[in-house]
Structure 1
C-alpha cells in the first residue's frame, strides 16, 4: 500500500499540472504521469498566501506563468512556447494578440498536440484540443466542462486575459539535471520572497504559513478563498510526498550519489507526508466550496495549530531538499547556488 494512504494520483486540484499532463498524453513521452508533472514543475511544493484574506488567487499569483511552466516542462523533456502576459490587474488581449493566439492554437492542434490555456469555462487551466473553422469554434476541456467556445471568446473568459502554452518539441533530458533544476525551483520558491509592486500582502514559500496564520489570528479569512487554498495545497503536498517517495525508490539502490539522493528523498517524503496529513485535516475543517467557519475562534485556533504542524514538517523537508540539491550540483561540477542571504524578487 502507498505509505501516503492516498492511492489515486490521476487527478489534482492543481489544474495547471492537469493541463500539462493532458498535453503530454499526445506526445512521445506518455510514460510521464501527473506525479512526475507535479514534482518536476515544482507545483507540488508551491505555497502563496494573502496575509489578510487568503485570497482565492493565491495558488497562481505572483509568478511568471510562461517562464515557470516552460522551465518545469523542460525538466520533463519538452521545449515549450507561451503567449500572453498575466498582470495585476488583468489586461484584456488586443485583437492582434487574439489573432496570433488563435494561429498558435491551430498550429499545435494540426500537429496533434492540445494547447494549455487559462479561463475557458471557469478561471482555471484547461486545454484546447480541437477547432472548427466552419463554425469558428474551439473544442475545450477544463475541470468544469468539456465543450465549445467561439473563436471570439479566446482570452475573453471571466477574468479577461490571454495565456497559452504549447509544446514545440521534445528531447531526452538528463535525469540528474532535471532533478537538480526542479529542486532549484522548489528551494528558491520556499526561501526567496517575492515582493509585488501592487503592495498586495502575498507571501510565498515557507513564509506563506506565517501569512496564513496571521489571517486566522486576525479573523479576516474569506471562507470560500480559504477552502480553495486548503484544497489546492493539501492535495499538492500529497503529490510532493509521493514524488519524493518515487525519487527515493529510483535512486536509492545505486552506488554513491544515487544512494545519497535516495536516502535524503526518502526522509523528505516523510516530512512532506506529515505536512500533508496536517493540511488534509484542515481540508476536513474547511471543505470546498462551503468553506466552514474559519473566523470562529475555536476553528481559527485549531487551524493555526495545524498550520504550525505543517510548517514545521515542511521546514525540515526543505532542508533535506536543499541537501539533495547540493549533492546534485556537486555531481554536475557546479557550485552551490543557495543564496547566502534572502533575495527579494519583484513581481509586477
Structure 2
C-alpha cells in the first residue's frame, strides 16, 4: 500500500475533482478493497460488485474525511459497510445496516482512537449518516417540486392530494372527476419526469464542477479503426493502445491469446445470439489489462437492469478522462450487443461521439448514457496506458484453464468454457437451437480457435524442450476445434428452404468433435502447468 503522504496528496486532489487522481486511488486500492470485501461476503464475484460500488460512494463522501492521511482506514470501513449491506440486500431487506458504526469498531478499523479515522464524525466514530440522509431527502423534495412545476395544474393537484391526503387512486378519480386509468397515467408521467430530472440535475452538477476547474470543454480524437471483423474486447484494447503506443503494436493473435479471448466460450440457453459476448465485462476487462500489463479502469456488468445518476456521471468521467489522455474509451451496449468506442465529447452540446463495430457514427446525450435501447447494462473501459510488460505465458495458460473450468463470475442462464459446449449440445438434442445464434457463435469461434492454435504454437516455439512438445500438442487440438467450426458455419442456418435434412445430425457431430478436441487441449495445458 502507498505511504500516508502519497495517499493524502491523492485524496486532496480527488477532493478538488481531479479525475486522474481518483483513478489512481482505484488502481492502488482495488486489490486491498477486494480482500476486505471477501472477508465479509466470502464470494470473489460479489466482492467485485461491492468494490465498484464502494469506490463510487467513497468519491461522493470524501469531503467528510478531514484527515486525508487516515484515508485507508476510512475507506476500509466503507468497503466493509457496503459488503454488509450487500448481504442484507441478498436476503431481501434493502435497509442499510451499520454493524460497524460503534466507537469501538471504528477504532479497531482505524487502529487508533474512536475518532482516528473520521475527522468529521460524531462521538461514535461513525459517518454523519443522519445528516447525510436528511440532506439527501431535502434534495429529493426539491427535485420533486421542480417536476411538479412542469406538470399541468390538475396533475399537480392530483399528486399533492395523493402525497398529503394519502388518497387512493379511486378517491382521487372521484375527487377530480376522471377515470382511474387517468390517475395512473398521471403517476406514470410524474415518475418518468422525476427520473429524467434526477439524471439531468446530476449531469448539470457535474458539468458545473468541470467548468469551475476550467477543464476541457470539448475534445475529439481521430476516428478509431477495426482490424478484426468481430469486436473481441482484447482487440478493442489493442486498437485503443495504438493512440499511445509510440508505434509499437500487438498482433491480434498475441492480444487474443494473452487475454484469453481466443479460448473464450460463452453460451446462452438455446444458443441465443447474445450469448457469445455476454460475460462479466468488468471482471474480464481487469483480468485482460492485468495480463497485458495495462493500467485502466472498468465499470459495468451484465444483468444489471438500472443505473443511478451517480453511476452515470462516473461513466461519463471515465470516458472524458480517457479521451483527455488521447485514448478512445471502449464501451458496450450503446448499440445492442456491440462493443464500440467513444472518441469525442462536447460539454456545451452535452453529447459524446460514438463509433461502433458496424462503422456507424452516432452522438448520444450525456443524460441518456445507460438509459437507451433494449439492453440497459452499459460497460465502459478506460485505458491509462502501458504499465508493465505482459505476464509470462504461464499466467495466460492458467487463465485459459480457469475459463474452461467455469471459474469466473456466473450469470444466470449462461454457461462458460467446456460447460458451454454441454449447454449448446443440449439445445441441439432438445430441438431448441437458435439458428442465427448458432451461426453467429460458430463464425466467431472459428476465428477465435484459429488464433488460439497460433498463439499456443508461438508459445511452443519460444519455450523449447519438453514444454514445446506439450504446447504443440495443445495447439494441434485447438487447430482441430477451429476446423470443426469452419465446417459447421457455411451450412447453417442459411439456404435451407424450410428443410433441415440431416443438418442437425451434422451439427451434433461437429460440436461433439470440437468439444472432445478442446477437452483434450485443456487436459494437456493442465498437465503442463503442473510441471511448470
Q: TM-score range by the shorter chain?
A: 0.7 to 0.9
Match of 1:185 in 2: 399
Match of 1:306 in 2: 510
Match of 1:342 in 2: none
Structure 1 residues 105 and 263, CA, compared in 2 at 3 Å: closer, same or farther?
Answer: same
* SS class of match (1:27): coil
Aligned match of 1:65 in 281, 302, 324? 281
Match of 2:235 in 1: 18
Deviates more, 1:166-175 or 1:188-197: 188-197
Do the aligned residues in 2 keep the contact of 1:83 with 1:165 (CA within 8 Å)? yes
Aligned match of 2:309 in 65, 72, 95? 95
Deviates more, 1:166-175 or 1:297-306: 166-175
Do the aligned residues in 2 keep the contact of 1:268 with 1:320 (CA within 8 Å)? yes
Q: Deviations over 1:146-197 (max 9, x none)?
A: 4132223422343122211112342223642xx2222222101112477957
Match of 2:260 in 1: 42
Deviates more, 1:162-171 or 1:27-36: 27-36
Structure 1 residues 251 and 219, CA, compared in 2 at 3 Å: closer, same or farther?
Answer: same
Aligned match of 2:491 in 277, 282, 285? 285
Match of 1:220 in 2: 432
Query: 2 CA distance for matches of 1:142 and 1:246?
Result: 32
Asked if 1:142 corresponds to 2:356, the answer is yes
Query: 1 CA distance for matches of 2:441 and 2:499?
Result: 16
**CA positional deviation for 1:115:** 1.1
Match of 2:369 in 1: 154
Do the aligned residues in 2 keep the contact of 1:16 with 1:126 (CA within 8 Å)? no
Query: 2 CA distance for matches of 1:295 and 1:116?
Result: 42
Match of 1:117 in 2: 331
Aligned match of 1:235 in 438, 441, 447? 447
Query: 2 CA distance for matches of 1:246 and 1:146?
Result: 35
**CA positional deviation for 1:213:** 1.6
* SS class of match (2:354): strand
**Greater strand content:** 1
Query: 2 CA distance for matches of 1:183 and 1:197?
Result: 23
Tell me how many residue pairs correspond in the alignment.
304
Query: 1 CA distance for matches of 2:470 and 2:460?
Result: 8
Deviates more, 1:271-280 or 1:28-37: 28-37
Deviates more, 1:224-233 or 1:143-152: 143-152
What are the ranges of 5 or more consecutive residues in structure 2 without an aligned counterpart?
Answer: 1-225
**CA positional deviation for 1:318:** 0.8
Do the aligned residues in 2 keep the contact of 1:56 with 1:229 (CA within 8 Å)? yes
Query: 1 CA distance for matches of 2:488 and 2:497?
Result: 12
- TM-score, normalised relative to structure 2: 0.53
Match of 1:171 in 2: 387
**Greater helix content:** 2
Do the aligned residues in 2 keep the contact of 1:245 with 1:265 (CA within 8 Å)? yes
Q: Which has the higher contact order (CA 8 A, sep 6+)?
A: 1
Q: Deviations over 1:277-304 (max 9, x none)?
A: 00111111226xx596899351111101
Do the aligned residues in 2 keep the contact of 1:294 with 1:300 (CA within 8 Å)? no
Query: Which of the two has higher C-alpha Rg?
Result: 2
